[in-house]
Amino acid sequence: MSKMQKTAQHAPRTSGSFAHPRKNVAALGIQGGMRIADFGAGSGAYALAIAERLGGSGTVYAIDVQRELLRRIHNEAARHGYKNVEVIWADLEVPRASKLADRSVDFVLISNLLFQMPEKALLLREARRIVKLEGHVVLIDWADSYGGMGPLEEEVVPKEAALALARVEGLELRREFSAGAHHYGLVLQPISKQV
């Protein structure tokens, strides 16, 4: 079992009252026909909200290391009639694990996953690899521990640290958005010429 699987077991991706998948998806400017990767898709709240937003065109790739969650996402997508949801099993701490081609997606969504990953750079590197040069990597994560409601205090990745990691991996801040209570939301874009 990978470190990612072990961490994911004790720190499931939370939505509910803390993050607002539909609201966040609406704020991103997602349009029909786009190809979007949801890294660490978890319960599928974002993947399904994206599929709804795409309106039957484009594709959302729900990527996770937990097969049971991927089966649930697949079943929920079928129940809602979303034919544009593809599930991909992947350990995102392994290079090229998403199985998606270089520069092939418009958005990569990374929600409540960065704090769980021991190899954060590999996660961001994979996002940078698959996103188009004019595309975006959206990073949503916990701003603090909040007394046990979120991740352990030592697992929290502050916004400034996330931005520094992103910059090293060839991503720069385009804008911030309100991602819900106790979270920050960052829209990143590939740096055209990496330094």
Query: Over 90: is that where the pLDDT of 83 sits?
Result: yes
16 vs 81, higher pLDDT = 81
pLDDT value, residue 19: 65
pTM (two decimals): 0.88
pLDDT at 50 over 50: yes
Residue 133 neighbours by CB distance under 10 Å:
9
11 falls in which pLDDT band (50, 70, 90)? very low
81: pLDDT strictly greater than 90: yes
pLDDT the model gives residue 14: 40
Of 42-46, 131-135, 151-155, the range with the lowest mean pLDDT is 151-155
How much is the pLDDT for 180? 85
CA angle (119, 1, 21) in 5-degree steps: 60
Taking 90 as the threshold, does the pLDDT of residue 17 lie above it? Answer: no
Which residue segments constitute the domains of the chain, with CATH numbers given? 3-190 (3.40.50.150)
| pLDDT at 6 exceeding the cut of 50 | no
Give SS3 for 138.
strand
Q: Which region holds residue 96: left if phi is over 0, alpha if psi is between -120 and 50, else beta?
A: left
Q: Give the pLDDT confidence score for residue 144 in this predicted structure.
A: 87
Beta-carbon neighbour count of residue 12 at 10 Å?
A: 13
Name the token pair of 87: 């599930």
- Which among 59, 63, 51 is positioned nearest to 88, based on CA atoms? 63
